[in-house]
Chain A
Amino acid sequence: MSSIACGDDAPVAGRGPLEVRVGDGDELTCTITNTRRARITVRTVTQPDDPGKVTSFGFTSGLPETPGPIGILLGGLFSLADGDSVSTSVAPGERSVTENNPMPLGYKLIGLSCTEDKAQNSTVSSGAALSTDRNAALVADPGESIVCTFTNRKVVGQAVVVKAGDTFAYHGDSASYTFGVSNTGNSSLHDVQVSDDKCPNVSPAPTSRQNDNGDALLDPAGVDETKPEVWIYTCSYTIAAHAGGETNPVVNTATVTGVDELDRPVGDTDQHTTTLLHPAIALTKTGPATATAGSRVVYTISAKNTGDVAFAAPLVVVTDARCEAPPLLIGTGGDGSPGTLDPGDTWQYACAVQSAAGESVIHNVALVDGTDIHGHHATAQATADTLLAAPRQAVAANVASGDPVVAPASAKLRGPTGCMPRTAKVSVTGKRISQVTFTVDGRSKKIVKQADSAGRFGLSVSRAKLRTGTHRVRARVLFLAGSSATGKTLVMSLNKCRPAVVKPAFTG
């Protein structure tokens, strides 16, 4: 029964029992109106499930005119744990149910919905108002059943930082790193900061953002709601000069911190490894400690890769200013990879220095310049001095006479070998030659006292004037006074060949 009203002139109304005065002979009409009550059910759901019902969520309601069936609704306050529900019947009319703020419990109201089996005229908080109002304003129609579900999600704050940067670096280089920070929880983060234990000047704010919705919070879902926002921080620092016992590789640890919606700190770390490279080549040069002035002195040069990075063969350049020609690579020591001077490899070079008469010492510096696979250079130098002594004969003369140093004399005889041409050119070249006397087969042919423009003392021999066979050419060379030698006899053979049709002397 909802109401009872009796009387026409002075009606009395109420919900009964109703006391009315009835006079004698009065005719009283009482109207009893019965209105069907509505039923409202409130239930909670938590994410993730809380089967132990550890947490109960409080509600404030304007539901009951009378205490609820199990006392939950006493005073308009009640509480429900995960999966629990409560129902009560109410007189039709406007009602409300509000969930107390679940944040202190570590939860956030993320959904509120009500279903009505009659008119859909109730309203619930949604959108931004959901987390502030948390209210269902219900219009309970007669006989209607309304079910309201409050969904609470446990707040998880989680940040991830991913560090990237140079894999290799050299002392003095500026090593650069990037830090990608993202939110893999379900709570937006604020006060996000990044630090690095080796790189002190990490940018205080992101230098770039990906999928960011611009709300200054690091959200677990950005513009693309399927992906988290990513904030990029950067840092660079100069790698100090090499120090003994330094740690290599360098391991940087990046740390990100932030605060979630429950004001709880969250954080993450990541490491990045940078290998420090030390291109280095050691050079050693060896040669005779002493030699004769005017002679040609050979030096060997060893280039060893004492660093930890390889050098391509064409980029290992060994020079020696005094050598007649650039040092030649003469051995790689059985190197299995001769295309590169790898760490520990030793390559051998050789070159020669022509010393001058009167020179007392050969002092020359060998240099090596290697360029590694990253374009960095390593250089080294080495010296091997050779003391030069005057030729023995000249020294004796000088000691005796006190004359200036005597220049060494030399002579070489050259001419055609094999079958001689129509005119064979025989010549003597050398130093401090004053005269050359040529004989052929013991017969004097020519005395030459003046070299030609090429410095040669020459003799032409006509083939037509010789018989078939071998002919001995002798050159008696006299040197200038004061030379290291007075004279020298040189011999060679000319061969006038027979026609190339032969009866062989083979065994057959």
Chain B
Amino acid sequence: MTLRRRITACAVAVAATLASLAGAGGASASADAGAVAAATADGVVVTRLSDEARLSRWAYPAREALVRTAPSDQARVIDRLRILTEDRLPETYLLLSRRVGAGEENDWVRLRVPGRPNGRTGWVPRDALGLFHRVSTAITVDRQRLRVTVRRRGRIVFRAPVGIGTPSTPTPAGRFWIREKFRVAGGGGVYGPRALGTAAYAPGLTDWPSGGVIGFHGTNQPGLIPGRPSHGCIRLRNQDIARFYRLVPVGTPVRTR
């Protein structure tokens, strides 16, 4: 075990609740057990909110606040919180950490930001987000083995073959999350009966309607699975997407590698 992982493992045991520390600012949807906190000498408490494996936190935005590069009103703006996804469903944000200093105005949350380029993170005021929700599931997409794996609290609960992007329109690697899930209008078309939207965007499809969101969905061409037939989306057989849909809640972190 590396030193970093050991430190993380130790820190995971620390049940630091932000609500009981400075600037709770709104209730959490669940207890903050598992949060990892560290206090700096100047009294600022930084709490880790997600490990993106066994415990992750997410929230809906409460308003269209500016997303900044640092926890300061003076920091550069990189985006704005969105209330809705491209599919007009409530947008969600995966929360990484929280930084609480003295005073209500010093309560910031670092989160992952959907959109191009993939992989951005930024800071928003705590009050720009709703309640914190927790998930213990995590998704891994293995682009070499063409396989998706769902873990709950680290234990594998689902595994299925997938179809991913072609070499010219690849499924991007990185860390994302499930932003939305829904039944597909029309049922058994190219998207199959169920779909889940992620925070990943197809790198080369900037002109795609609604920006080229990568999603998990079913298919009407199960013979292409496993394979590399898509524009970046991750296709599952319809019977697999049905079970995947039940197992995976919104906010679940996704890692493609």
A-side interface residues toward B, CB under 8 Å? 286-288, 291-292, 295-300, 324-325, 328-332, 334-335, 338, 348, 350-352, 410, 412-419, 468-470, 491-493, 495, 497-498, 500-508
Contact = CB atoms under 8 A, between A and B. Distances in A.
A115 B100 CA distance: 107
25 contacts: A296-B103, A297-B102, A298-B22, A298-B45, A300-B41, A329-B16, A330-B37, A330-B45, A350-B45, A417-B62, A417-B90, A417-B129, A470-B83, A493-B83, A495-B60, A500-B183, A501-B184, A502-B87, A502-B185, A504-B215, A505-B213, A506-B191, A506-B217, A507-B231, A508-B190
Contacts of B160: none
A147 B26 CA distance: 113
B185 A503 contact: yes
Interface stretch (B6-14, B110-118, B137-145): B6-14
Interface string B207-228: 0111111110100000000000
Nearest to A416: B130
Q: Is the interface of B mostly helix, strand, loop or mixed?
A: loop
B233 A506 contact: yes
A20 to B, nearest CB: 127
A483 B230 CA distance: 60
Contacts of B185: 501-503
Contact of A296 (B6, B41, B102, B165): B102
Interface string B122-147: 00000101110000000000000000
A417 B130 contact: yes
A68 to B, nearest CB: 96
Interface residues of B, number: 74
Contacts of B100: 298
Given A298-B21, A468-B88, A506-B215, 7 more contacts: A288-B102, A298-B22, A331-B38, A334-B10, A417-B130, A417-B131, A507-B231
Interface string B51-84: 0000000011111100000000000000000011
Nearest to A504: B195
B63 A502 contact: no
A419 B43 contact: no
A297 B102 CA distance: 5
A418 B90 contact: yes
A501 B186 CA distance: 9
B256 interface: no
Contacts of A504: 87, 182, 184, 191, 195, 197, 213, 215, 217
Interface in B175-202: 182-186, 190-191, 195, 197, 202
B63 A491 contact: yes
Contacts of A416: 130
B34 interface: no
A506 B214 contact: yes
A334 B14 CA distance: 12
Contact of A414 (B13, B26, B59, B182): B26
B20 A334 contact: no
A324 B20 CA distance: 7
Contacts of B15: 328
A334 B127 contact: no
Contacts of B182: 500-502, 504
A297 to B, nearest CB: 5
A352 B40 CA distance: 13
Contacts of B40: 300
Contact of A505 (B14, B37, B87): B87
Interface string B1-45: 001001100110111110011110110000000000111111111
Contacts of A508: 190-191, 217, 230-231, 233
B169 interface: yes
Nearest to B128: A492
Contacts of A331: 10-11, 14, 38
B221 to A, nearest CB: 11
A469 B183 contact: no
The residue in A291, A417, A498, A503 that gathers the most chain B C-beta atoms within 10 A of its C-beta is A417
A329 B6 CA distance: 17
A463 B184 CA distance: 24
